[in-house]
Structure 1
Amino acid sequence: MTSSDFSTFGRGARRRDFYLRIVAILAVAAFGRPGTAMADVTAARGGDSRAEQFVQAGAQRILSILADQGLSPAQKTAKFRPAIDDLADVPKITNFVLGKYARTIAPDQRRQFSTAFRAYAETAYKNRLDDYRGETLKVTGSVVRKPGDVIVNTLVSGGQMARPAAVAWRVLGSGGAWKVVDVQFKGVWLAITQQQDFVSTMDNAGGDVEVLIAQLQRDAQRPAVSQR
């Protein structure tokens, strides 16, 4: 995995590291203001060893699956989905990225969006399987924002990366029951960015969630674009 990136969805297109993008798309929901969380990451000392162990094991498990050259694409996909589900709360991200529209969307539309959203994300993942070559993740510390709310700081390195990348993971829970709820990369909380993009798309369509669903469905059908 190098610094090669890909375009994000919607008008406010930005470029992000692919692996972190996938984690954000499939499995994160943000709570609170991003500025507050960033301040805590910068000033933090100490932390929660159980939350750190959870992130170390869960995130490294995903990286190992992606980098395993002994697995076929179908086998990687089969292993990738449950690994993501174990790492983070997928239903929460589905609700969170809808922003204010989560309060008004009809149940049938919510089901359609959930299906389209995951298909969109998994298509992006499948299109970039060859980008992984043995990256590893190391926890460097954590901070307890409040009981059950921890930011775990890590470095991702190795493989095709020119230099280590700092990544912060916000996790909620206690004891052995934790879930990732947001991921910070290059100073940006990615779940919040995804929500902003989707809400902007629906705002521009007069609040019509069907427009977003249709766009996700189209994007999920797009063939891979060579990055080499």
Structure 2
Amino acid sequence: MSKRNDALNRITDVQPHKEMMMTQAKGFTQKLRARMAAGAFIATGALALAPLAQAANEDHDAALLVTDTASQAVTALDDQIISDDEADRVLSNVDIDAVAKFTLGNKWADLSADEQSRYVDAFKVFARNQMKEHLSGLSGADVTVTDVVPRGDKDAIVVTQVRTAGNDLPQEMSWRVVANGSWHIVDIQAQDIWFAIEQRAQFGAILDRNNGDIDALINEISS
């Protein structure tokens, strides 16, 4: 009986030691996993650093284009009127050729080179007049970039808040910008309406009413 008790005591004495060793081993494993995870994080971070820096630079360039364009418009409105020259300076930040082509949709490919050229010229006049009319609300405004939403490597939406003296609530304007050598604006959204998308629908309706006659559209948007 005494021998049996001694054996039981030895087993009982070994059990805590075994548990302690298992706890230490578990702790070592957890530390090892943590170190491996940290190493993986550092390695991944090092690999991602260059593209992240590039993305940050691209976001900055896209946002800078928008703030510069808005600043030009606000400055031009100091006298409450945007002249043709001032409008053209603002529109130099817009890829007018790309926007003009977009607004025609599939119809663009059906035009001759001469028709395409005449249409783009007419669209530039139209865009200038539209800008002079609709950007008048930026008079004395404070435009702040609140977000840059990437849509691809060279495509982003720049979200801004526009505060004017007569309105306590800021209005949101979004600017779609693309980079083809340098960043340019290709569409502007205000009050949930995208300018280029809206014009594409309206121009399509004009062409439908005139049996696809591009001259009818050119005459209408040039007037």
Are residues 1:178 and 2:176 paired?
Answer: no
Q: Which runs of 5+ in 2 are unaligned?
A: 1-55
Flag the structure with more relative contact order, 1 or 2, with Cα contacts below 8 A and sequence separation at least 6.
1
Name the counterpart of 1:146: 152
Are residues 1:49 and 2:56 paired?
Answer: no
In 1, distance between residues paired with 2:85 and 2:220?
Answer: 25
Q: Decide whether aligned partners of structure 1 residues 152 and 106 sit closer, same or farther in structure 2, where only a CA change above 3 A counts.
A: same
In 2, distance between residues paired with 1:143 and 1:151?
Answer: 5
Within-5 A mapping of 1:51-200: 51-65=62-76, 67-69=77-79, 76-85=83-92, 87-125=93-131, 133-161=139-167, 163-173=169-179, 177-200=182-205
TM-score when normalising by structure 2:
0.65
Query: What secondary structure is seen at the aligned counterpart in 1 of 2:169?
Result: coil
Q: Does the Cα contact within 8 Å between 2:91 and 2:128 map onto a contact in 1?
A: no
State the AA in 2 paired with 1:150.
A
Q: Decide whether aligned partners of structure 1 residues 171 and 196 sit closer, same or farther in structure 2, where only a CA change above 3 A counts.
A: same
**Aligned residue pairs: how many?**
167
Q: Decide whether aligned partners of structure 1 residues 90 and 99 sit closer, same or farther in structure 2, where only a CA change above 3 A counts.
A: same
CA shift for structure 1 position 117: 2.3
Name the counterpart of 1:17: none
CA shift for structure 1 position 58: 2.0
In 2, distance between residues paired with 1:72 and 1:141?
Answer: 29
Q: Decide whether aligned partners of structure 1 residues 116 and 59 sit closer, same or farther in structure 2, where only a CA change above 3 A counts.
A: same
Provide the alpha-carbon RMSD of the alignment. 2.7
CA shift for structure 1 position 162: 5.5
Q: Which runs of 5+ in 1 are unaligned?
A: 1-45, 221-228
Name the counterpart of 2:22: none
Larger Rg: 2
Q: Decide whether aligned partners of structure 1 residues 51 and 128 sit closer, same or farther in structure 2, where only a CA change above 3 A counts.
A: closer
State the AA in 2 paired with 1:78.
D
Q: Does the Cα contact within 8 Å between 1:51 and 1:150 map onto a contact in 2?
A: yes
CA shift for structure 1 position 185: 2.0
Identity of aligned residues (%): 26
In 1, distance between residues paired with 2:103 and 2:139?
Answer: 30
Name the counterpart of 2:214: 209
Q: Decide whether aligned partners of structure 1 residues 156 and 194 sit closer, same or farther in structure 2, where only a CA change above 3 A counts.
A: same
Q: Does the Cα contact within 8 Å between 1:132 and 1:160 map onto a contact in 2?
A: no
Alpha-carbon displacement from aligned partner over 1:47-78 (angstroms, at most 9, x marks no partner): 8222112211222222221x222x976xx321
CA shift for structure 1 position 126: 5.1
Q: Decide whether aligned partners of structure 1 residues 211 and 124 sit closer, same or farther in structure 2, where only a CA change above 3 A counts.
A: same
In 1, distance between residues paired with 2:81 and 2:201?
Answer: 35
In 2, distance between residues paired with 1:128 and 1:184?
Answer: 12
In 2, distance between residues paired with 1:127 and 1:189?
Answer: 16
In 2, distance between residues paired with 1:106 and 1:134?
Answer: 44
State the AA in 2 paired with 1:63.
V
Q: Does the Cα contact within 8 Å between 1:116 and 1:216 map onto a contact in 2?
A: yes
